[in-house]
Structure 1
């Protein structure tokens, strides 16, 4: 089972930049997308004429048009869906899909955590979302489940190239990092860190501006977290970093994880 998590930075922009072609070439079983920024109709139109047109789709658009939005696209049947978290029902930041493949049922979650802004109401909202997210994850951990997405948090200094310059800023706050730590202590496996080991990166987001991408001055904020039963089936992972700045179709790189069936 190949799962790909990707912040598409707007599905319609991704189509224009060739991102759907790249995703189609990866031969995934499941795509978990963030920042879709589209209505149901707009998403369907974006998928027209692609391999994904015939796939099963679970989509949670945000109530505010052109904002956020998450989706799960599956080559295999989606048996159940649910969206939203307590207090965040219509934010387009959380969607669950139970997928059946080869006689197994796997819960796939696509999450898009707020960017936040330290010492502002935006940060308070981010913390509230993280609390709600942790509560739901506690209910899922004993199942075959994978929680993917753009969490907008670097867990340690290994996950942020310029960590010294970002101390005290949202995305690298100790209070944010504690949420990730609590999930890992509860048994969720950060697949990329588990497989890559104690190394810098691999980063998944780089600013469009300046030489951040060329210098690999990035942030690792996109995650694939497996429940223990699913993590035992991980075979390999890959970060879909573009070969050059000109070939980027998002400011994020996709995270690819293969599991045995």
Structure 2
């Protein structure tokens, strides 16, 4: 088992190196196409020796304020990345997921520099690390800045997997006890929230491969099963069975069973004859 773990870690490190090389090529091409981009691209990509260093710089520059400056935040982010290499592994997987699923994404450089859904998710990974290490006030400061800068409010205690695509990100809310597993895609204005003033475990559990459409609200300690699809604008108050599509207010199952993971195909269409 130890040999397998080492082998998997080596593959993961190589994947990160390959991704960084690709981003470097994308950056060189961007500068060649438009010299006005030279200063920004060099500051955020080309002058950095590694992907973690560039990620720390990029997030710190966006989240810094009068209370905590960019060098201070970059130091905190670097500490988290060095202590928990799984954060970088997850970030690499997230970037590749965006490139594969988003037709508006032409390369890896674009989401790394500009996609605030990606930025909010990676900044949350840092705030979650702070939360787990007993630094709750700094974690909440990060949460506040993520909300202010990226318009996404993710509680530091929420547990998010890898291979997640948050498209646009504006208006996203994810509560304290929410769980989002691997390979999930969600669009703007999604809420994974509670139903009132209850305490304890009170937020949704989103299983692998789920696709959540724009404006959907999933409320309460309910499970949305693997491979499910939640239609745009739906309000989900009850558990959703695996590989099931739900839509409406309140959401109800429609159409046949899904035969693949909707999050990977990004197929947001619904049966033409669905009736709630």
- Name the TM-score, length of structure 2 as normaliser: 0.27
Q: Which has the larger radius of gyration?
A: 2
Higher relative contact order (CA 8 A, sep 6+): 1
Higher helix proportion, which one? Answer: 2
- Name the TM-score, length of structure 1 as normaliser: 0.28
Higher strand proportion, which one? Answer: 1
